[in-house]
Amino acid sequence: MDVEHLLSDINAHAPVQRRTLAEHTDSGDLTYRTRSGHTCEMTEAEIDILSKACAEREKISLRLPIIVTTDTSSSQGAWKVEGRTEVSVVSKLLSKSSVREDLMIFYHPHLRELQRMLPNSVMVLFIP
């Protein structure tokens, strides 16, 4: 089994398509489908948390679920969020500054807090 195949299996829970926060709230459909065929449902409480953390322009560009990936450049097991809107929103939620406006690096306690706040709106993917 090659690494690419193994990672494909590990990330079978990855979303097939990511819609914006505004699209979810406008349609009332708080679900997304995964590559494995499952349907995940975000709660209204999660959408409310995100809506309060977003500026109006961010609501039309924040894609859900928010993707958190492994930071392979770190020797200490860090995680990262990429994308200007995603970093802005996660920074507000965690009260943590970012490395760049389009990159935030954080460690397990921050990931745990983010997952506690948004259990169905944050997706962790393992990227080599």
Token couple for 96: 């943590």
- Strand duo 66-71 + 122-125: pairing: parallel
Taken as a whole, the chain contains a residue count of 128
**What digits encode the pLDDT tens for the residues 51-85?**
999 999 999 999 999 999 988 777 677 999 999 99
With bands split at pLDDT 50, 70 and 90, how would you rate the model's confidence at 117?
very high
Contact, 47 vs 26, CB < 8 A? no
| pLDDT of res. 114 | 97
**Cβ-proximal residues to 92 (8 Å cutoff; 6+ apart), any chain:** 53
| pLDDT of res. 8 | 62
Enumerate the H helices of the chain as residue ranges. 3-10, 21-27, 44-53, 56-59, 84-94, 108-117
**What digits encode the pLDDT tens for the residues 14-55?**
898 999 999 999 999 999 999 889 999 999 999 999 999 999
Is residue 118 within a helix (H) or strand (E), and if so which, with residue range?
Answer: none
With bands split at pLDDT 50, 70 and 90, how would you rate the model's confidence at 7?
low
Token couple for 126: 């393992």
Residue 1 has pLDDT above 60, yes or no: no
The pTM of this model reads: 0.88
